[in-house]
Amino acid sequence: MDKNKDKRTSVAEDPAQKRTILALERTQMARERTFAAWVRTGLAPLAIGLGLVKLMPDASPRWLIQVLGILLVLSGLYIFITGYRTYERVLLRLQQEGYEGLPISAIKGMTVMLLLAGVLALLLIIID
């Protein structure tokens, strides 16, 4: 007999266990949506900072535009890091309850790529 089928049947028969599993799954989905919101929020100042410097080449004083661009990109990087740390903190709490969910490596990889993109944006601003 299929062991997984027995587990599903036993979970379905225990309403409290079923509600707990569903609550953990909803928390997982909320955590992923929240991380996506952090990413969108971080991309906004990053894009604005880079766009400001690149689309206003004749603005003066030039150093002020570059400083503003750098500050905006740095704030985007800070937002990415904060989003990752928030995601990780909630994951640790869920793991204490026995819920695995998605591995942190996927979110960590995405965060590293976003940080690299931010560093490249900083270099584009500084070199300009």
- 60 vs 116: which has the higher pLDDT: 116
23-57: pLDDT as tens digits: 888 888 888 899 999 999 999 999 999 999 999 98
Q: What is the pTM assigned to this prediction?
A: 0.81
- Supply angle C-alpha 79, 46, 118, rounded to 5: 80
The amino acid occupying position 41 is T
What pLDDT sits at residue 35?
94
* Number of Cβ atoms within 10 Å of the Cβ of 38: 21
86-117: pLDDT as tens digits: 999 988 888 887 777 777 899 999 999 999 99
Domain that residue 56 falls in: 3-127
Determine contact, residues 121/46, Cβ cutoff 8 Å. yes
SS3 per-residue string spanning 93-106: HHHHCCCCCCCHHH
Counting the structural domains of the chain, the total is 1
